[in-house]
Amino acid sequence: MTVEIVFETHSLSTDNEAGIATGWRQGELSEEGRRLARRLGERRRGERIDAVYASDLRRAVETAELAFGDAGVPIRRDARLRECDYDALNGGPALEVERESARGGSKSPFRAARATGKRSSGCTPFSPTSLPGTTRAG
CA distance 21 to 33: 16
- pLDDT string in tens for the chain (138-residue length): 788 888 888 999 999 999 999 989 999 999 999 999 999 999 999 999 999 999 999 999 999 999 999 999 999 999 999 888 888 889 999 998 888 878 775 555 544 333 434 344 444 444 444 444 443 333
CA distance 71 to 59: 19
Quote the pTM value: 0.74
How many residues belong to the chain? 138
CB contact set of 79 (below 8 Å; sequence gap of 6+): 55, 56, 124
Residues catalogued as catalytic = 10, 83
CA atoms within 13 A on the CB side of 128: 10
Name the phi and psi angles at 13, rounded to 5. Answer: -105, 165
Domains of the chain: residue spans and CATH: 1-83 (3.40.50.1240), 85-122 (no CATH)
CA distance 120 to 107: 11
